[in-house]
Amino acid sequence: RRRGYRGLMPDNTQVSPFWLAGRPATGDGEIVVTHPYDGRVIGAASVPTDAQVEEAVAAAHAVRAEAAALPLHVRAEALAHVARRLAERSEEIARLITGENGKPLLWARGEVGRAISVFRFAAEETRRWSGHAQRLDTDPAAAGRLAYVSRVPHGPVLAVTPFNFPLNLTAHKVAPAIAVGAPVVVKPAPATPLSALVLGEILAETELPAGMVSVLPVPNDRAAGLVDDPRLPVVSFTGSGPVGWMIKERVPRKHVTLELGGNAAAVVCADADLDHAAARIGLFSNYQAGQSCIAVQRVYVAREVYDAFTPRLVAAVEGLVTGDPWDDATQVGPLISAEAAERVQAWVDEAAAAGAEVLTGGTRDGAAYAPTVLADVPAGAKVACEEVFGPVLLVQPFDGLDEAFALVNDSRYGLQAGVFTRSLDVAFRAHRELEVGGVIIGDVPSYRADQMPYGGVKESGIGREGLRSAMEDYTYEKVMVLTGL
Ligand code: NAD
């Protein structure tokens, strides 16, 4: 069902400039961006030189006091401008995301919509950002004293982002930085720099001081210099565990936020609406070809409904529209690269060789991997214990909630979990007992509202995003005591 690409693909003749302290610049060499679906070149990003990186960091450092003192209405108006411009350019940016990432237009459009919301929420939170007074005369020794408490930025933020949501996860770092008055240096993923560069262009239209935002597509082997730089005291990282924990160990005294991977689980209780659960799990195991940190990977089903549920799940997965990401109807497109799909294939083959049954899928075509359901997966198989980051789920029966929750918690990771139940008791129990950053009742673990606190426990990370939470992570409480009142 391929349609012509003419008019659908972004212009591939341009080399996008990067954004150095609010102005466009070109450097030395370029990152060529290819389309995962068919490998064609869809654009390129100019790569800054070491001197240009130094200039951007020095500018962020130099502007930090001015940024922290920016009136709230200036910050809020800049954030609202970004939301408006993203909305005006939404279709163009969605196509850019599909081009660089390969995700179907359906999800690319959704991502732009979410980024718009993130900037809107940030503008609203900025207007609510305020200090408070605390009376200290609760203690006789502090009679006549009053504390004024406000949050101030630690300083400029280094935002390191992954390929899978190249716009929205950049928004989740940039918007709260602007809201609290912190300069930000963005380092996008090398596979997908183009949408972050458009965001840089839109930010450059605002009244923010020049040094406040830079977007620098530096290659991975030069990223460590940014991480180490003492003028960037906050590192907000979203990406894989090995890189994230390496960063934390490298700069233990910095304020490091890590949003890392997971192998998210869904629990289907006997009282669940099985059709609803199957449809949601089938879709959100495979959306973005499974390349979401909260894609459903492990599905635990009450034994009494296992035989009724599993065929529904397989039917839901087989009903997904796969293929051309430029087709409006496509739900599952390619992975980011053929190498990524080969890794998924190797992990599924390993599980199958160890006794797993492939209920559907299990085949690869270039960078595309067929949505796959596995049963009887041995506990030690990579598809059970590691983050698959591909369109693969395993289904397994459980006897009783104790076993279900123990299975969910039997993981190095803990981002979110989904529990399909109609029982409020089970919901509260899940919230108490599941070792995750978020429990979603009646839906998949993949649900995220951009304004809610979001993040992991265990090896899934430290710190929280979601506008208000990120604003708190980027700042510290500072007290002024007034005497003689
Ligand atoms: P990745 O770790 O390969 O890359 C993430 C970023 O780190 C990129 O910008 C990359 O260029 C940069 N990087 C790589 N090496 C670096 C180094 N030595 N120093 C500094 N920066 C370096 O991850 P990815 O493949 O782009 O993204 C997929 C991963 O991201 C998955 O594990 C997924 O679960 C995770 N993720 C987590 C969340 C979350 O919110 N928890 C959201 C999306 C993705």
Nearest Cα residue to 402 out of 309, 304, 300, 276? 300
Q: Which residues of the chain have pLDDT under 50?
A: 1-6
Q: Which atom of ligand 1 is nearest to the CA of 293?
A: 34
Q: Ligand 1 test: best mutation among 100, 163, 457, most atoms within 8 Å of CB?
A: 163
Cα separation, 320 vs 341, in Å, equals 18
pLDDT at 8: 57
Nearest Cα residue to 263 out of 165, 354, 361, 396? 396
Q: Which atom of ligand 1 is nearest to the CA of 162?
A: 26
Distance between Cα 176 and ligand 1 center (Å): 20
Cα separation, 298 vs 266, in Å, equals 6
Q: In the structure encoding, which two tokens stand for residue 462, read together?
A: 């430290």
Cα separation, 376 vs 279, in Å, equals 21
**402 near 137, Cβ under 8 Å?**
no
Partners of residue 349 on adjacent β-strands:
none
Q: Which atom of ligand 1 is nearest to the CA of 456?
A: 41
Take atom 28 of ligand 1 and give the residue whose Cα is closest.
Answer: 239
Q: Which atom of ligand 1 is nearest to the CA of 221?
A: 18
Distance between Cα 162 and ligand 1 center (Å): 4
Q: In the structure encoding, which two tokens stand for residue 164, read together?
A: 């899978």
pLDDT at 485: 86
Take atom 43 of ligand 1 and give the residue whose Cα is closest.
Answer: 293
pLDDT at 14: 83
Distance between Cα 238 and ligand 1 center (Å): 5
pLDDT at 9: 64
Active site positions, annotated: 259, 293
Take atom 36 of ligand 1 and give the residue whose Cα is closest.
Answer: 239
Q: Ligand 1 test: best mutation among 160, 236, 336, most atoms within 8 Å of CB?
A: 160
Cα separation, 191 vs 36, in Å, equals 10
- SS3 sequence, the chain? CCCCCCCCCCCCCCEECEEECCEEECCCCEEEEECCCCCCEEEEEECCCHHHHHHHHHHHHHCHHHHHCCCHHHHHHHHHHHHHHHHHCHHHHHHHHHHHHCCCHHHHHHHHHHHHHHHHHHHHHHHHCCCEEEECCCCHHHCCCEEEEEEEECCCEEEECCCCCCCHHHHHHHHHHHHHCCCEEEECCCCCCHHHHHHHHHHHCCCCCHHHEEECCCCHHHHHHHHHCCCCCEEEEECCHHHHHHHHHHCCCCEEEEECCCCCEEEECCCCCHHHHHHHHHHHHHHHHHCCCCCCCEEEEEHHHHHHHHHHHHHHHHCCCECCCCCCCCCECCCCCHHHHHHHHHHHHHHHHCCCEEEECCCEECCEECCEEEECCCCCCHHHHCCCCCCEEEEEEECCHHHHHHHHHCCCEECEEEEECCCHHHHHHHHHHCCCCEEEECCCCCCCCCCCCECCEECCEECCECHHHHHHHCEEEEEEEECCC
Cα separation, 444 vs 8, in Å, equals 32
Please report how many Cα atoms fall inside a 13 Å half-sphere around the Cα of residue 45, on the Cβ side.
Answer: 28
Nearest Cα residue to 295 out of 222, 375, 212, 392? 392
Take atom 26 of ligand 1 and give the residue whose Cα is closest.
Answer: 162
Residues with CB under 6 A from ligand 1: 160-165, 169, 187, 189-190, 220, 223-224, 227, 238-240, 243, 259-261, 293, 387, 389, 415, 456, 461
Cα separation, 14 vs 261, in Å, equals 33
Distance between Cα 119 and ligand 1 center (Å): 22
Distance between Cα 161 and ligand 1 center (Å): 6
pLDDT at 10: 66
Cα separation, 374 vs 356, in Å, equals 6
Q: In the structure encoding, which two tokens stand for residue 358, read together?
A: 């492939």
Q: Which atom of ligand 1 is nearest to the CA of 262?
A: 34
Distance between Cα 61 and ligand 1 center (Å): 25
pLDDT at 234: 98
